[in-house]
Amino acid sequence: MSITMPGPGIPTEISSPVRLVVVSAGVSEPSSTRLLADRTAQKVLDLLREAGTPATVGVVELGPLAVDIAQAIVSGFPGERLQDAINRLAEADALIASTPVYKAGISGLFKSFADVLDNDLLIAKPVILAATAGTARHAMVVDEQLRPLFAFLRAIPAPTSLFAAPEDWGGSALGERIDRAATELVLLLQSGVGRSIADSAWTGYQHQFNGNATRAERGADDVDFSTDLMRMAAGGINGPAVSEPRVGTA
């Protein structure tokens, strides 16, 4: 279906409902970190609804998964609840990642969750980066720490990042930034750039065997044995034989 953003939008085609997933590392109740993510998600939904595009929102709360995340880091294997959260990220079309700031850095819980994700899980997925803190002195943590993390994961962060200190909630500037970030996310979805990158360049990335990414190899039948690496692993039986090195020659 053709959708157009309010104002100077770009018509495009989105053939299925957009799956938006919020990842929140807030642990207090109520959580300002979750509040910022929810407010942003609602704005994204509003823009998509105005454009006639159906969408769903799922939430991954990291607080209840803290023990599961720690166990996965030690064992190397996610439990059922954590695996379900990872699967939701793999199936998402776009993300909103929100973390509190502690000791001038992003939440250790958030970073630990990122550590258990496959490196190719979020390739080319649009994401809004957000953080909350008790003081405006930590405003740059989003761009100094979250943005490089998601660059490593090869996601596509929206140009506008979000940060909220206590004094920001009563002003209009935060709402304006949320509007801008949400608009950027929707435009990234409209453009289809993420899907185009994943479709065109997927084989150029390194993937974990039996990984969680929706396109990752799941079993032996999915492995491409024609690659040079796989031919070498198979002793050269599927391709040109590898000549034995000469010994004792100049």
Report the distance separating Cα 237 and Cα 211, nearest Å. 26
Query: Can you give the pLDDT at residue 231?
Result: 66
Q: What residue segments make up the domains of the chain, in order of their start?
A: 2-204
pLDDT for position 6: 44
- Of 140, 135, 138, 145, the C-alpha closest to 114 is 145
**For position 4, what pLDDT does the model report?**
44
Asked if 242 and 236 touch (Cβ cutoff 8 Å), the reply is yes
Please give the pLDDT value at position 101. Answer: 97
DSSP conformation class of 35: H
95 — phi, psi (to 5°)?
A: -130, 155
DSSP 170-181: TSSHHHHHHHHH
| Angstrom distance (rounded) from CA 229 to CA 199 | 22
Return the sign of the alpha-carbon dihedral for residues 187, 15, 20, 118. negative
- Name, in order, each residue with C-beta under 8 angstroms of 36's C-beta and a sequence gap of 6 or more: 98, 130, 132, 162, 164
Q: Is the overall model pTM greater than 0.85, yes or no?
A: no
The amino acid present at 46, given as its one-letter code, is: D
Rounded to an integer, what distance in angstroms lies between the CA atom of residue 74 and that of residue 28? 26
Q: Find out whether 156 and 198 touch, Cβ atoms under 8 Å.
A: no
Predicted confidence at residue 211, as pLDDT, reads 61
Per-residue model confidence (pLDDT) at position 195: 74
Name which of 2, 1, 6 is nearest 183 in CA terms.
6
Q: Fold for domain 2-204?
A: Rossmann fold (3.40.50)
Give the mean pLDDT per block of 10 residues along the chain (250 residues).
40 71 95 97 97 96 98 94 96 97 96 95 96 96 97 96 96 97 97 75 57 55 60 60 49
